[in-house]
Amino acid sequence: MNKIQINPLLTVVHRRVLHEYLRGEGRLTREQWQMLREAIDLLEQSSLVINEQEYTFKRFYNEFIRIQKEGCLPRKTSKLLKWQKSDSLWNS
């Protein structure tokens, strides 16, 4: 069973700033940078479970997202990327 366990202290405002940053939508204000740092700290305390394997967000990023950015996708990543496309993280 796949599931995301987000730290409940991550607010809608945190998510919006994180989303803006990840999409590169303009420059962040000083307050938004502070909110982004808080969001990243809260995500480090969150996890997700994929195919019964638990990952911290940091581990997931290092193993799947960073590798994708560097242009080297291992086979196990292709299945995870299909699941990752779900927008439920941002809509909850």
| pLDDT tens, residue by residue, 5-17 | 999 999 999 999 9
Tokens of 6: 């987000």
Report the C-alpha gap between 8 and 18 in whole angstroms: 16
Extents of the domains making up the chain: 3-91
Q: Given a cut of 50, is residue 42 above it in pLDDT?
A: yes
Let me know: does 58 contact 47? Beta carbons within 8 Å. no
Phi and psi angles of residue 56, each rounded to the nearest 5 degrees, phi first: -75, 160
Question: Which one has a higher pLDDT value, 76 or 36?
Answer: 36
